[in-house]
Structure 1
Amino acid sequence: MRSQLMEMLESRKDEIIEIRRHLHENPELSFKEEKTSQYILDFYKDKDVEVQSNVGNGYGIVVTIKGGKPGKNIGLRADFDALPIVEETDVPFKSKNEGVMHACGHDGHTAYLLVLADCLIQLKDEIPGTIKIIHQHAEEVPPGGAKSIVESGVLDDLDHVFGIHILPIGPAGMVGYHAGYTFNGRAYMKLKIQGRGGHGSSPHLANDAIVAGAHFVTAAQTIISRRLSPFDIGVITIGSFDGKGTFNVIKDSVELEGDIRYMTVETKEKIEKEVKRISKGIEEEFGVTCELTYENDYPPLYNDPELTEQVAEILKNANDPAIKEVKESPAMSPSEDFAYYAEKFPSCFFFIGCTPKGEKDPYFNHHPKFDIDEDSLLVAAKAVGHVVCGFYGIE
């Protein structure tokens, strides 16, 4: 079956690319992927599978492929939302939706998984178990789609979930993996500091919210430099400081927004505790009031070490000319809501190199000039196909 599956995928490479280009031309933002969802549903029309739509808090789709033999149940996940970015690539299939772009590769994720799923449907009598294809909406915007799909219960019978991300960390043919904590978790904070405005000439009659806010920005960085172990990973970015006013007027209030990243649950808890402590301290030190909003978004993504090692061995032993290199990769600083699947099931999320041919300094995901080597899409399909076959012991 494995050789048959690979031959089927190779014969449909052009179709995978065609699907990717169609999706690239027609991107939709998180929670607004109505047409993309319908495109996916139309693909499965009249196929011998169970299709569930509107799963979770949006346009999520779960397709159940029941194998002809008993065995374990696994999930294969791909996301399909785009980003609010004005595309700057020079390709004939450029986004038709102004200000919206598939700048993260989710178009490619969906394209490879649609064709792989169709091939697996045709070979399902040989599969010893059940495979659930998870077409997930809204990866880019918290609370995301993954958490709600997990909470819906439609995946409760799964043993493992597998997923990939195309990244320009190597050429097409390179597959990367990392065991343990692999992607950062993240949190969002907003702090409104209420002081007392006044005339710039009489600061003693006012209570300057900008001074208090500036102190918070500086103090928050000491959480990373003085509260975390040098071996822990954490980042606090104050991306917005809304304190604009008039040059000779002491500001009455300011509002700050920040992005917080961490690699472990322990670090997450420590940073949150310290942000709240500093906020309280500023109230005492400057005589202001602080209204803090602190929301934990995606948790750190933890790849099950045993399963990840199994995936790596399967791919290293695949003897597939499309997969030229399988190597351990470093952990990644962005966040990924695949983490919610990995929280519930032992899972593995790995990487597919997609650096465009000839590029020595490629644009990374989320850049308006992000592009891929489309050969990476067949690599993704074959790599995940090998993992499915290897997991089930299919040759």
Structure 2
Amino acid sequence: MFDLKEEIKALEIELIKLRRDFHMYPELGYQEFRTSKIIKEYLRKLGLEVSTVAKTGVVGLLKGKTAGKTVMLRADIDALPQEEKTNLPFKSRNPGIMHACGHDGHTAMLLVAAKILAIHREDIKGNIKFVFQPNEEEAGALNMIEEGILDNPKVDAAFGIHLWTPIESGSVGLVGGPVMAANEEFELTVIGRAGHTSAPHTAVDPVLVASNIIQSLQSIQTREIDPLLPITIMIGKINGGRGRNIISEKVEIGGTIRFLFENEEEDKIILLYKIERLIKGICYGMGADYELKYIPSNPALKNDYSMIHYIEKAAHETFGEKCRIVSYRCMAGEDFAEFSQRVPSAFYFIGIGNEEKKTNYPHHHPMFDIDEDTLKYGVEMHIRSVLNYLD
């Protein structure tokens, strides 16, 4: 084995520079044109076969010296519609858009891992696909799959990393089986009848109806679902009304439903029925109407038990005696799940939570930041896990 730690150390300045550049110029899903261009140019300089997939996605194929299996490494490249509130010298220069989930770090780590692996392609048995996925926040993985990234050559296994503030810097979060929740999004419009606030009896107030729905939805997860089954029903946005003295005609609500069920598809159908039953009943009882649209996001992400030992081995090789592996799962959604549904996969977390460095803010928070000292660990974990598998 080449001196991997020294090679990563020599590229650490480049690694951090890449991450900061991506952070300064964040782009939303399927609009990652600048990001995609940089990735393609970087991979082509490494001598990889490069292709564009799903509008702004990029796939780089590294063929080893001898034939063997094909393993996929994936990073997500999109940002969030979030106004950054940090005072970082490299804070977002695109108003209203921010890398508030670590995707800038994911992209930088995978690029540098590709660089090192390309240098040592003569030592590689098999193929490595470096997948840079657009629109992860709104489920872009399925579009890449539909365009054939798991074929030509056929992918035998997949690995993914997420930098994660809820885990202490330097620790690795890993568990077999269910890791991250299935996620179903919804848009609900409550339709009332407009009027004057001085005469509410002549109108149907959708604000009052909507408030009843929002409160009552919580009763489903606390009264109608087995309390041992993880589920959250959350409202993320609400919009209605244009004046203090006007009864609005409608209120628009958007939210997410996250769950980890044993029989995912069957139980999801029952759950969505319960939600619409409640909405319909409240609207009917209060004289309103509604329009409800479910937006499928991603299934539950489940790690293949036969794959996690490659990560465990890589973690011990990377961190040595200081290796800390914690069992971790959460209710966040992650569309790497689409890959895990189709090929043996392992998805894991590298902790970046550090209170002194102020990198312990939640994901999607306007103050979110990365402990950049952990980026080198992500590069090393990528390389060691893929080589462990191919060997």
* Same-fold status (TM-score > 0.5): yes
C-alpha distance 378-281 of structure 1, shift in aligned 2 (>3 A)? same
2:132 alignment counterpart: 135
**Please, which of 229, 232, 235 is the counterpart of residue 232 of structure 2?**
235
**3-state SS, counterpart of residue 96 of structure 1:** coil
Which range is displaced more, 322-331 or 232-241? 322-331
1:285 alignment counterpart: 285
Cα offset, 1:239, TM superposition: 3.4
Q: Deviations over 1:250-284 (max 9, x none)?
A: 55443332222222325533321211222332354
Name the CA distance, whole Å, in 1 between partners of 2:191 and 2:273: 21
**Please, which of 115, 120, 136 is the counterpart of residue 118 of structure 1?**
115
Cα offset, 1:11, TM superposition: 2.2
2:69 alignment counterpart: 72
Name the CA distance, whole Å, in 1 between partners of 2:358 and 2:77: 28
Name the CA distance, whole Å, in 1 between partners of 2:371 and 2:337: 26
The residue type paired with residue 154 of structure 1 is: I
Name the CA distance, whole Å, in 1 between partners of 2:331 and 2:216: 23
**Please, which of 256, 263, 267 is the counterpart of residue 253 of structure 2?**
256
The residue type paired with residue 38 of structure 1 is: K
Aligned-residue sequence identity (percent) comes to: 37
Is 1:381 aligned to 2:376, yes or no? no
2:148 alignment counterpart: 153
Name the CA distance, whole Å, in 2 between partners of 1:101 and 1:323: 36
Cα offset, 1:248, TM superposition: 6.6
Name the CA distance, whole Å, in 2 between partners of 1:16 and 1:200: 58
The residue type paired with residue 146 of structure 1 is: A
Name the CA distance, whole Å, in 1 between partners of 2:74 and 2:173: 17
**Please, which of 81, 94, 97 is the counterpart of residue 97 of structure 1?**
94
Is 1:189 aligned to 2:186, yes or no? yes
Cα offset, 1:204, TM superposition: 5.7
**3-state SS, counterpart of residue 132 of structure 1:** strand
Cα offset, 1:25, TM superposition: 2.1
Name the CA distance, whole Å, in 1 between partners of 2:47 and 2:57: 19
Name the CA distance, whole Å, in 2 between partners of 1:204 and 1:357: 54
CA contact (8 A) 1:188 1:260 kept: yes
Is 1:17 aligned to 2:10, yes or no? no
The residue type paired with residue 295 of structure 1 is: I
Cα offset, 1:343, TM superposition: 1.6
Q: Deviations over 1:61-87 (max 9, x none)?
A: 001111122221110001122222232
Counterparts of residues 172-183 of structure 1 (less than 5 Å): 172-183=169-180
**3-state SS, counterpart of residue 290 of structure 2:** strand
Counterparts of residues 1-395 of structure 1 (less than 5 Å): 1=1, 3-53=2-52, 55-56=53-54, 58-140=55-137, 142=138, 144-156=139-151, 157-197=154-194, 206-244=203-241, 251-264=248-261, 265-266=264-265, 267-316=267-316, 318=317, 320-321=318-319, 324-356=322-354, 358-359=356-357, 362-393=360-391
Cα offset, 1:360, TM superposition: 7.7
C-alpha distance 314-376 of structure 1, shift in aligned 2 (>3 A)? closer
CA contact (8 A) 2:84 2:97 kept: yes
Q: Deviations over 1:101-124 (max 9, x none)?
A: 222211111111111111111212
Unpaired runs of 5+ residues, structure 2, are none
C-alpha distance 238-368 of structure 1, shift in aligned 2 (>3 A)? closer
The residue type paired with residue 160 of structure 1 is: A
**3-state SS, counterpart of residue 27 of structure 1:** coil
The residue type paired with residue 293 of structure 2 is: T
Name the CA distance, whole Å, in 1 between partners of 2:245 and 2:47: 72
Name the CA distance, whole Å, in 2 between partners of 1:379 and 1:91: 22
CA contact (8 A) 1:95 1:101 kept: yes
C-alpha distance 357-381 of structure 1, shift in aligned 2 (>3 A)? farther
Q: Deviations over 1:34-93 (max 9, x none)?
A: 11111111112343321112x02x210001111122221110001122222232323332
CA contact (8 A) 1:171 1:357 kept: no
C-alpha distance 196-361 of structure 1, shift in aligned 2 (>3 A)? same
Q: TM-score normalised to the size of structure 1? A: 0.89
Name the CA distance, whole Å, in 2 between partners of 1:98 and 1:215: 35
Q: TM-score normalised to the size of structure 2? A: 0.89
Name the CA distance, whole Å, in 2 between partners of 1:168 and 1:227: 32
Cα offset, 1:99, TM superposition: 2.7
Name the CA distance, whole Å, in 1 between partners of 2:359 and 2:18: 27
Question: How many equivalent pairs are there?
Answer: 386
C-alpha distance 248-7 of structure 1, shift in aligned 2 (>3 A)? closer
C-alpha distance 172-322 of structure 1, shift in aligned 2 (>3 A)? farther
Which range is displaced more, 180-189 or 242-251? 242-251
C-alpha distance 323-92 of structure 1, shift in aligned 2 (>3 A)? farther
CA contact (8 A) 1:108 1:377 kept: yes
The residue type paired with residue 8 of structure 1 is: E
**3-state SS, counterpart of residue 45 of structure 1:** helix
